[in-house]
């Protein structure tokens, strides 16, 4: 497994403006990179609630922070209901809340079909064993009609060849089911014009992004999560969100702007903070990251 680099680590934690004894909620704890620094900042009398919808991520964070000298609470759940999850853990207000919307390398190599570089079942779910009622990427690829796939790939992936790709998927699945990530990646690659197959970015990148967003209802979850987090914030508390594509960033930007208009608080970042050149050189996946921070009024 490749080493995981926590994106915008110092910028995001500095931006939360934490003090010793603060109560902080990491709504997407991942492998615990941000949470480890949060724990240092709030100290032995502080509290860090670590929330994640992916059980394997939560386990990795727990291992990483095993020796942290602060009060840690681990909760398996989606940040879209962060206020409710916090309440069940005995937390009614938070001085700082963080959402890092990136997907870490452990998830890409989890065997759930997130990566076109591995041949894994086409799930793209946050859990290894999804419930029978959960829609998987294989369900979408196998059952949605051509027009629905075109719309999905265009709206959630910004895919310029959405029509060609959708048509090829529909034609292919008549002959054989598409059930693994490699099968799908090969189909997508065969659908795009030849001159677009050998670039730095794999032709299936945007299709995989669109499917992952749809399977996990990511955009609606983000809208609900922001609303829930703003309710949970204590007076003068800050909410920091790191996004990785324009659909997410637009939601955060508009939600924070509306919250400011409604008199809830102030935009700390008038423009998003982005990684410096040195961070991007070390971690290419950081190149699209944007950090926005909102502070609730006293």
Spell out the residues 6+ positions from residue 240 whose beta carbon is closer than 8 angstroms to its own: 12, 15, 16, 96, 97, 98, 99, 291, 292, 293
Number of domains in the chain: 2
Both 124 and 268 in one domain: the answer is: no
Both 80 and 227 in one domain: the answer is: yes
Spell out the residues 6+ positions from residue 252 whose beta carbon is closer than 8 angstroms to its own: 222, 226, 241, 243, 292
Spell out the residues 6+ positions from residue 228 whose beta carbon is closer than 8 angstroms to its own: 79, 80, 81, 82, 83, 84
Residue 3 lies in a domain: no
The CATH number assigned to the domain holding 76 equals: 3.40.50.150
Question: Looking at 194, 216, 238, which one is the last position of a domain?
Answer: 216
Question: Looking at 183, 216, 249, which one is the last position of a domain?
Answer: 216
Place of tokens 């992916």: 54
Q: pLDDT tens per residue, the chain (298 residues)?
A: 344 579 999 999 999 999 999 999 999 999 999 999 999 999 999 999 999 999 988 999 999 999 999 999 999 999 999 999 999 999 999 999 999 998 766 555 667 888 888 899 999 998 777 777 789 999 999 999 999 999 999 999 999 999 999 999 999 999 999 999 999 999 999 999 988 887 778 899 999 999 999 999 999 999 999 999 999 999 999 999 999 999 999 999 999 999 999 999 999 999 999 999 999 888 888 899 999 999 999 9
Both 242 and 292 in one domain: the answer is: yes
Question: Looking at 196, 216, 236, which one is the last position of a domain?
Answer: 216
Distance CA 173, CA 179 (A): 10
Tokens coding 215: 């399977």
Both 95 and 168 in one domain: the answer is: no
Cα 86–Cα 104–Cα 257 angle in degrees, nearest 5:
55
Torsion angles phi and psi, residue 265, rounded to 5: 175, -155
Range of the domain at 200: 111-216
Both 33 and 50 in one domain: the answer is: yes
Structural element, H or E, at residue 152: helix 146-157
Kindly write down the DSSP assignment for every residue of 241-298, as one continuous string: EEE-SHHHHHHHHHHHHHHHHTTSEEES-SS-B---HHHHHH-GGGGG-EEEEEEE--
| pTM of the complete model | 0.93
Structural element, H or E, at residue 234: strand 233-243
Tokens coding 95: 């001085």
Residue 1 lies in a domain: no
The span from the first CA to the last CA of the chain, in angstroms, equals: 44
């Amino acid at each position: 497994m490749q080493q995981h680099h926590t994106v915008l680590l110092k910028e995001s934690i500095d931006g939360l403006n934490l003090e010793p004894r603060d109560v902080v909620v990491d709504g997407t704890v991942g492998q615990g990179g941000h949470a480890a620094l949060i724990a240092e900042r709030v100290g032995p009398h502080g509290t860090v609630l670590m929330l994640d919808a992916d059980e394997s991520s939560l386990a990795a964070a727990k291992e990483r922070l095993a020796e942290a000298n602060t009060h840690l609470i681990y909760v398996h759940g989606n940040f879209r209901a962060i206020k409710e999850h916090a309440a069940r853990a005995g937390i009614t207000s938070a001085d700082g809340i963080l959402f890092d919307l990136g997907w870490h390398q452990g998830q890409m190599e989890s065997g759930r079909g997130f990566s076109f570089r591995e041949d894994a079942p086409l799930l793209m779910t946050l859990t290894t064993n999804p419930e029978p009622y959960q829609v998987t990427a294989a369900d979408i690829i196998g059952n949605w009609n051509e027009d629905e796939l075109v719309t999905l790939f265009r709206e959630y992936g910004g895919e310029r060849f959405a029509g060609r790709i959708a048509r090829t998927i529909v034609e292919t699945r008549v002959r054989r089911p598409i059930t693994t990530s490699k099968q799908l990646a090969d189909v997508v690659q065969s659908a795009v014009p030849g001159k677009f197959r050998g670039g730095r970015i794999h032709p299936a990148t945007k299709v995989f992004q669109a499917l992952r967003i749809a399977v996990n209802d990511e955009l609606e979850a983000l809208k609900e999560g922001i609303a829930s987090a703003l309710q949970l914030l204590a007076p003068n508390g800050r909410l920091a969100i790191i996004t990785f594509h324009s659909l997410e960033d637009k939601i955060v930007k508009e939600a924070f702007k509306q919250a400011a208009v409604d008199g809830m608080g102030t935009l700390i970042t008038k423009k998003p903070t982005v990684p410096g050149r040195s961070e991007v050189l070390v971690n290419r996946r950081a190149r699209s990251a944007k950090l926005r921070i909102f502070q609730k009024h006293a």
